[in-house]
């Protein structure tokens, strides 16, 4: 079988959500199925580290597709040419977009419908593209994959998709995320916070992640407890960051907030394992991997009580109302003061992460690919 995969988000030095998902799942699938040929479709020069096996063939398709006009050209004009050229049996697209102009069966991954629930958090051009095309993509695909039961139900409710067509292939924590020794932890803290304990947020910086309310909550925490606790924000500036940047420039506790920028996964794992707790106040997530990575490191997580996050975390997260800086601050103070609670969450987290496994996810995805290739 010839399997083409949209790997545009495998970007060295910029690997994030979709990219991690592709990296974990399709590296395993290609290695586990050497009898099949895999074509990785990039839209720019690629890094050889993403060519995981000899049965993977990288192809660069122009133009670079990062905006709606280029998306239309890449998916609907250029992609069908290359799918025909390689005689693809199936095309897998993990970023929610597929081609409307090919007869090749497609397996589409839609992580969430954030654009429907929080449309003001993305640009108008991107929003129009999603609004116009998402249903068309869902109808065109032979099989649709999503990452949680929450997202599955959301897609069904919003677009009436059949359960037979819609499958769940969830995320998991990367193996690099493990507990570290006190010695390693102290070195990490010296590097980032001059030795102080810290709350950690990891992920890109944009409005849906709710970092404005996190800053407000951290201010309340500092005023009430007067501790030397720091807040570390590990991630790149994405879009619509003006309000965050402006607030931070006048923030009373600016010297207690550390922005690391984008970190490679090995460094991010060390930072996560050295945190006192993760705070993940996102308004909306189809899954939310960073808090699960914290649990795998033996670090408790304070997480929003919305969308798929309670489904993923169960009894292992301390939940917050993301709309309320006061509630976020109260839960940060509770985590800081109640060692019994913190220990219980860490213990629950060790059990919770066992439910999520990349090897199982890769096998489920493989079954979906086969279904897409054979469904009439």
Per residue in 9-52, pLDDT (tens digit) is 999 888 889 999 999 999 999 999 999 999 999 999 999 999 99
C-alpha–C-alpha distance, residues 330 and 17, integer Å: 29
**pLDDT at 171 > cutoff 90:** yes
Residue 6 has pLDDT above 90, yes or no: yes
- What is the pLDDT, as a whole number, of residue 239? 66
Q: Residue 350: pLDDT above 70?
A: yes
If one looks up domain 182-355 in CATH, what number appears? 3.40.50.2000
| Residue 363, pLDDT above cutoff 70 | yes
Residue-wise pLDDT for 214-225, tens only, equals: 999 999 999 999
User: Can you count the helices (H) and strands (E) in the chain?
Assistant: 15, 13
User: How does residue 279 score in pLDDT terms, banded at 50, 70 and 90?
Assistant: very high
Q: Would you list the domain boundaries of the chain? A: 2-172+357-374, 182-355
Residue 32 and residue 293: Cα distance in Å, rounded? 25
**How confident is the model over 201-229, as a mean pLDDT?**
93
Residues 6+ positions from 357 with CB-CB distance below 8 Å: 172
At residue 244, the pLDDT reads 80
Write down the architecture of domain 2-172+357-374 according to CATH.
3-Layer(aba) Sandwich (3.40)
Q: Is 302 helix (H, G, I), strand (E, B) or coil?
A: strand
Q: Which of 115-119, 149-153, 206-210, 309-313 is least confident?
A: 206-210
Distance of alpha carbon 287 from alpha carbon 171, whole angstroms: 7
Are 231 and 258 within 8 A, CB to CB?
yes
List C-alpha distances in Å: 258 to 187, 262, 315. 16, 12, 29
Q: Do domains 2-172+357-374 and 182-355 have the same CATH topology?
A: yes
- In the sheet that holds 277-280, the strands lie side by side as 257-259, 230-234, 198-202, 277-280, 301-304, 317-320
Query: Is the pLDDT reported for residue 246 higher than 90?
Result: no
- d(C-alpha 91, C-alpha 87), whole Å: 11
- Respond yes or no on whether the N-terminal peptide bond of residue 233 is cis (omega within 30° of 0): no
Residue 332: predicted pLDDT: 98
At 351, give phi and psi (nearest 5°).
-80, -35
- pLDDT at position 13 is 86
Residues 6+ away with beta carbon under 8 Å from 212: 243, 244, 247
pTM of the model: 0.95
More confident residue, 315 or 163: 315
Whole-number mean pLDDT of the chain? 96
Spatial separation of the C-alpha atoms in residues 69 and 22, rounded to whole Å = 24
Average the pLDDT over 122-150 and give the result. 97
pLDDT at site 241: 74
What backbone phi and psi angles, to 5 degrees, belong to 286? Answer: -80, -20
Q: How far apart are CA 25 and CA 332, in angstroms?
A: 34
pLDDT over threshold 80, residue 129: yes
Beta carbons of 234 and 192 less than 8 angstroms apart: no
Over residues 75-95, the pLDDT tens digits come to 999 999 999 999 999 999 999
- pLDDT score recorded for residue 240: 67
Q: List the one residue out of 305, 260, 321, 312 whose CA is nearest residue 290.
A: 312
Tell me which DSSP letter residue 64 carries: P
Dump pLDDT digits (tens) for 281-316: 999 999 999 999 999 999 999 999 999 999 999 999
> What distance lies between CA 288 and its chain's CA centroid?
6
Cα–Cα distance, 263 to 293 (Å, whole number): 15
């Amino acid at each position: 079988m010839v399997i083409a995969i949209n790997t545009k988000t495998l970007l060295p030095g910029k690997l994030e959500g979709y990219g991690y998902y592709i990296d974990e799942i399709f590296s395993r699938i290609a290695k586990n199925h050497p009898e099949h040929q895999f074509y990785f479709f990039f839209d720019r020069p690629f890094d050889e580290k993403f060519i995981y096996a000899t049965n993977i063939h990288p192809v660069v398709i122009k133009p670079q597709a990062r905006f709606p006009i280029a998306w239309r050209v890449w998916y609907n004009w250029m992609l069908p040419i290359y799918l025909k050229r390689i005689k693809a049996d199936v095309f897998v697209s993990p970023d929610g977009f597929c081609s409307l102009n090919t007869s090749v069966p497609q397996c589409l991954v839609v992580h969430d419908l954030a654009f429907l629930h929080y449309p003001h958090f993305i640009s108008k051009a991107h929003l129009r593209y999603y609004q116009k095309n998402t249903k068309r993509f869902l109808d065109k695909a032979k099989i649709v994959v999503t990452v949680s039961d929450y997202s599955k139900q959301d897609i069904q409710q919003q677009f009436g998709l059949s359960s037979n067509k819609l499958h769940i292939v969830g995320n998991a924590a990367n193996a690099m995320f493990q507990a570290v020794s006190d010695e390693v932890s102290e070195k990490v803290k010296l590097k980032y916070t001059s030795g102080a304990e810290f709350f950690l947020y990891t992920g890109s910086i944009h409005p849906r992640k709710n970092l404005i309310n996190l800053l407000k909550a951290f201010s309340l925490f500092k005023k009430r407890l007067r501790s030397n606790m720091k807040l570390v924000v590990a991630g790149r500036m994405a879009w619509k960051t003006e309000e965050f940047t402006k607030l931070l420039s006048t923030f009373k506790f600016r010297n207690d907030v550390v922005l690391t920028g984008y970190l490679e996964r090995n460094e991010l794992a060390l930072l996560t394992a050295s945190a006192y707790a993760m705070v993940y106040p996102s308004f909306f997530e189809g899954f939310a991997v960073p808090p699960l990575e914290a649990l795998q490191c033996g670090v408790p997580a304070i997480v929003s009580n919305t969308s798929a996050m309670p489904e993923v975390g169960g009894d292992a997260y301390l939940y917050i109302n993301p709309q309320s800086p006061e509630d976020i601050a109260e839960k940060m103070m509770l985590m800081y003061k109640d060692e019994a609670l913190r220990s219980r969450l860490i213990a629950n987290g060790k059990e919770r992460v066992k439910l999520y496994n990349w090897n199982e996810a890769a096998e489920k995805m493989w079954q979906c690919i086969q279904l897409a290739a054979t469904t009439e």
